[in-house]
Structure 1
Amino acid sequence: MEKILLNDQIIDKENAKIDIEDRGYQFGDGVYEVIRIYGGKLFTVNEHLDRFFSSAEKIKIVIPFEKSGLLDLLEQLMKGNGVNNGSVYMQITRGVAMRNHIFPGTDVKPVLTAYTKVVERPESALQDGVGAIVADDIRWLRCDIKSLNLLPNLLAKQHATEQGCYESILHRDGTVTEGSASNAYIVKNGTVKTHPATNLILNGITRQVIASLCKDNNIPFLEEAFSVDELFAADEVFVSSTTSEVMPVIRIDGEVVGNGQPGMLTRKLQALLCEKIGVFN
């Protein structure tokens, strides 16, 4: 029987119930995280927990756990479900209260849920590269918060899918921000460039790992905004996320990127990330 985490209890999924007046359901009033599992271990879990707590603090939700206690529960959940390669999804909402735009009182307690699923690495896409489209970034101005409110992201991702592509690369007035579910990068003359970690993007955990790998391996890395024109003129393009890893983009809006193959620097970053994860292509 599959297990889920509900507040501080690990229970059978069939016994899990969420109240219809949960503010996550009615307002999207909460935050979430997705943590990758490789070889039965939670990858970069401390960084994910730090961001989870930070996102909650930014919307004034007090998580009723210490990070160490929450980590223990997530590991119990992962082991209880026997997931070796997959992910943990967790979210916290402001809790259950009569529908009102005003925050409820302190007597209303946040609701924490988490579950696991089996997810294999997208090896074929990582090897061959993917297509993307360019789309307007119509999201709110606090993209640094990993909010439950993802409707603009869903619309952008769906549009990409309908065009036979993997991802939408978003821009605000011609300045590239990130993907609908990823961070976006260009490579030009041997330098990796990505949008700075401002309120306009989510500072992805894989993004942080890539920045560290570049520093440790003397790969020029710039947190600097770039334009849609620069995107189309790039030598290489890739996106990254917890589940996409370092994903090569080989065509955008039907136009070929570089020579139409994953670039050498993208390949190097893939290999470095695999080494850090402990898997090998």
Structure 2
Amino acid sequence: MTQRTVYVNGDYVAERDAKVSVFDRGFLLADGVYEVSSVLDGKLIDFSGHMQRLKRSAGELEMSLPWSDETLLEIHRELIRRNALEEGMVYLQLTRGSAGDRDFAYPDASTPPTLVLFTQAKALVDSRSGSEGIRVATQPDWRWTRRDIKTVQLLYPAMAKMAAKAAGADDAWLVENGMVTEGASNNAWILTHDGVLVTRELSHAILPGITRAVVLEIAAALSLDVEARAFSVAEAQSARECFVTSASSFVTPVIAIDEVMIGDGRPGDVSRRLRSAYIEESRRRAI
């Protein structure tokens, strides 16, 4: 099996040789943040948006980020080149580093942060989920209340996804106080029978999705009405269409929620139109 080249704290190394300290706070305390930038035709999608969110996440946690966007872009591009990645993702993980022992207190400024990046090849455009849609199962949203920070503490989303798979679904939608917050790793949308797109408003309750922001721009260009508000599971089940957005799935139709078919149980016209427009716009903007 061909070994990927990964980036660890300034070095490009074979994945089998990649190492961080056992005292790294990302490993011990989930004290870290991350970003995922998609790659099409060997180029990065929505890169500036992902870097802006990375800086915001680090800032919210008072975490050092001593690399410029230009330097991070250079690292991303070098990894894409070394791994001959045409389509897939580049994952970036930033932690508060290792002070050499375990302690709840943040280390002082002399402790350098840990920066790791790796690539993952994946079919993004011609995916089964993109063309056929996915089924979701609802799960209680038991995450912490600062979901607007893209942290590496992903245990509960993983649990929710596994519970959804056990229920015969492809993914989970998380529900709090009877309202959908978001998917386990994506933003949730519905299209009402009046032709209005609805997605949750930005707050500490959801991640400010970069793909979500671009889809909002595309919806405006297509003269689609949009409302930023919460919606219930029942409203979603009775909607004309449902879909999710994320960097790794673009716009993906949802065809069933808790075994209740959405519409006729097939991807809807608006979802397909938004997916096609997003891919086209992403290729145009890619760097």
Q: 1:147 aligns with which of 145, 148, 151?
A: 151
Q: Is the 8 A contact 1:190 1:265 kept in 2?
A: no
Partner of 1:65, secondary structure, is coil
Range with bigger deviation, 207-216 or 125-134: 125-134
The normalised TM-score by structure 2 is 0.94
Which residue does the alignment assign to 1:185? 189
Aligned-partner SS, 1:177: strand
Cα distance in 2 for residues equivalent to 1:64 and 1:8: 12
> Which residue does 2:114 correspond to in 1?
111
Q: Report the Cα offset of residue 104 of structure 1.
A: 0.9
State the shift of 1:228 in Å: 1.8
SS of aligned partner of 1:278: helix
Whole-angstrom distance in 2 between the partners of 1:18 and 1:24: 10
Preserved contact between residue 189 and residue 242 of structure 2 (Cα < 8 Å): yes
TM-score (norm 1): 0.96
- Does 2:74 correspond to 1:100? no
Match of 1:5 among 4, 7, 16: 7
Q: 2:226 aligns with which of 221, 233, 237?
A: 221
- Would you say the 8 A contact 2:45–2:283 is kept in 1? no
Query: Which residue number corresponds to residue 247 of structure 1?
Result: 252
Q: For the aligned residues, what is the CA RMSD?
A: 1.3
Match of 1:277 among 258, 275, 282: 282
Asked whether the equivalents of residues 2 and 13 of structure 1 are also in contact (C-alpha less than 8 Å), the reply is yes
In structure 1, stretches of 5+ residues that fail to align are none
Q: Which amino acid aligns with 2:130?
A: L
The offset of 1:100, in angstroms, is 0.7
Contact 1:3 1:81 in 2 (8 A): yes
Aligned partner of 2:264 among 251, 254, 259: 259
Alpha-carbon distance in structure 1 between the residues aligned to 2:168 and 2:243 = 17
Check conservation: 1:89, 1:116, Cα contact below 8 A. yes
Gaps of 5+ in 2: none
Show the counterpart of 1:170: 174
Q: Which residue of 1 aligns with 2:201?
A: 196
Shift in Å, 1:202? 0.5
Aligned residue in 1 for 2:25: 23
Q: How many residues align?
A: 279
